[in-house]
């Protein structure tokens, strides 16, 4: 449930029922998130974003985000949009494409970049991906993932049971996401870090949920 946020400000979900708690929250050991459940179509929510370095200079920028359905190359996809553009994702929250505000491709991932389900603490996996930048240049990308914990995370929107999942790539980028894949269908918190020597320059970006998904 994620894009390589080293390139975009984006967007990959308080247990509403006992069954949902066991599927997506951190219940009795061992906790398991069996699958991803997107928010209702038409949902919108807001994030609070603080950026430094190559990400820009912002403090507590409010970023509205909206979820809808779309079609891409003849197949149904999940569409997440904000002021910086958005992503197209599979129904398992794998990122296919990141696009700019005009809808132009910025990053394409083949195969889609994302989680391997189910999520359990300690699980690791590696993806070998062809990354296409700007619709033109293709380069190999290695994505390494680890489910680090299932824990409480507190953000402006409240406190949520979340899966802390880390992701690193061969460009030196690291991202840690506190994901709430069932109850929210999105993440509560995300920290992206580019080190010195990163192709885009050093910087950090912290994204925290300000208001949870609702349908208006």
Average pLDDT, consecutive stretches of 10 residues, N- to C-terminus, the chain (216 residues) = 37 29 56 96 97 93 97 97 96 97 95 97 98 90 98 98 97 96 97 92 96 94
Phi, psi of 20 (to 5 degrees): -65, -35
Q: Is the whole-model pTM more than 0.75?
A: yes
Tell me if 132 is assigned to some domain: yes
Query: How many CB atoms lie under 10 A from the CB of residue 83?
Result: 12
Answer yes or no: is 9 within a domain: no
* Residue 109 maps to a domain: yes
Q: How many structural domains does the chain have?
A: 1
Q: What is the pLDDT of residue 199?
A: 87
Q: What per-residue confidence (pLDDT) applies to 28?
A: 55
Residue 29: per-residue pLDDT: 61
Q: CB under 8 Å to 182, separation ≥6 — which residues?
A: 13, 20, 23, 24, 25, 33, 35, 36, 37
11 occurs within a structural domain: no
pLDDT value of residue 137: 85
- The answer to whether position 5 is within a domain reads no
Q: Is 207 inside any structural domain? A: yes
Predicted pLDDT at 31: 92
CATH of the domain at 48: 2.40.360
Q: Does residue 60 fall inside a structural domain?
A: yes
Q: What is the pLDDT of residue 20?
A: 33
Q: Which residues of 158-172 are buried (b: 16+ CB within 10 A; e: fewer)?
A: eebbbbbbbbbbebe
What is the domain range of residue 165? 18-215
- Asked if residue 171 belongs to a domain, the reply is yes
């Amino acid at each position: 449930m994620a894009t390589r946020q080293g390139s975009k400000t984006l967007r990959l979900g308080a247990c509403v029922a006992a069954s949902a708690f066991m599927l997506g929250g951190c219940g009795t050991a061992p906790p398991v998130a069996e699958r991803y459940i997107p928010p209702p179509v038409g949902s919108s929510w807001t994030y609070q974003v603080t950026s430094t370095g190559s990400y820009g200079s912002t403090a507590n920028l409010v970023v509205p985000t909206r979820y809808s359905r779309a079609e891409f190359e003849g197949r149904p996809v999940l569409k997440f949009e904000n002021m910086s553009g958005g992503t197209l994702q599979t129904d398992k929250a794998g990122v296919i494409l990141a696009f700019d505000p005009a809808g132009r491709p910025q990053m394409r991932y083949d195969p889609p970049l994302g989680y391997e389900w189910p999520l359990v603490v300690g699980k690791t996996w590696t993806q070998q991906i062809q990354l296409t930048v700007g619709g033109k240049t293709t380069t190999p990308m290695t994505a390494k993932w680890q489910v680090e914990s299932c824990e409480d995370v507190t953000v402006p929107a409240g406190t949520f049971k979340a899966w802390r999942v880390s992701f690193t790539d061969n460009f030196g980028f690291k991202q840690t996401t506190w994901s709430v894949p069932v109850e929210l269908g999105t993440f509560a918190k995300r920290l992206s870090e580019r080190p010195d020597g990163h192709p885009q320059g050093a910087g950090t970006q912290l994204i925290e949920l300000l208001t949870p998904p609702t349908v208006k």
